[in-house]
Structure 1
Amino acid sequence: MSEYQPSEIRISDSEREDALGKLNEHMTAGRLDIDEYGERSAKIVTAKTRGELLSLFGDLPEPKPAFGQPHPTAGLPPVRRERTFAEKFIPVAAPIAVIALVAGAFIAFHIYFFLPFLFIFLIASRGGGNRWQGGGRGRPRGTRYGRY
């Protein structure tokens, strides 16, 4: 079984992204012009092995792509931070808002459903009846058009 040389090991997408970021640092430092940056970044995107990537950084100083090196914070316990007001408030306020909306819609539906009945009740309680027949608050009986 043949062993791979370190330069023949295939690279991952995250290693390509790391190399593009480091190439960008060299361009912003003025070591590369825009055309050379474009050529090298195109080659980084199509690179398949570590050797192909490292050859693009041969004439450049640090930073260079790092393969398989742990992240500086690897192995450290995660940093716990205090939750902000919004992170505390939203989980409590959201269910209350939903309940209030459902209750409001339920109440509003019933108000509009019973509104015509309320209107009829108010009209009937004012005395109702036909004014021309002498009922309610119309003209008193015996006046014009009355029977008596």
Structure 2
Amino acid sequence: MSQHPDPEEMRTGTAEREEAARLLADHYSQGRITPDEYEGRVLAAYEAATVGELRPLFQDLPAPHPSCFAPRFTEPVHVHRQTAAVMPYSPKSKVTAGVLQIVLPFGTGRFYTGHVAIAFAQLAVVVFTCGIGAVWPIIDGIVLLANGGTDPQGRRLSD
């Protein structure tokens, strides 16, 4: 048996049915459906027991659709500040990256997160300054521990 139930078989509650009816009223007021279609769809919405029974009521209508149609994430997600996109967290840990940067201060944490260019730059600075440049990776490690960072795909490092 699957761990996650089929989204179409998820039961709807009063809130989902009322949202569907409200959205159908919006479509009706904009002239997208006739009075008879509206009446039939609203009755069907109030009788719907699952998401799969609500979906056909909106199949031929543009957005907005009920929020219960939106995909459900099974992994932790965050909302990107600038684009408001919902993105999953990276499988990489900000604690691991920060500790690696501090304990092995020559870009190891950045190699771990996948930022190879920064890692090579930190490595070069440490090598060419005979270790004095290790301040940069150490500070970078503290910043990673405090604020986190991202992986190369732009996903936030997990806590």
Say whether the fold is shared (TM-score over 0.5): no
Asked which structure has the greater CA Rg, the reply is 1
**TM-score, L = length of structure 2:** 0.41
Larger strand proportion, structure 1 or 2? 2
Higher relative contact order (CA 8 A, sep 6+): 2
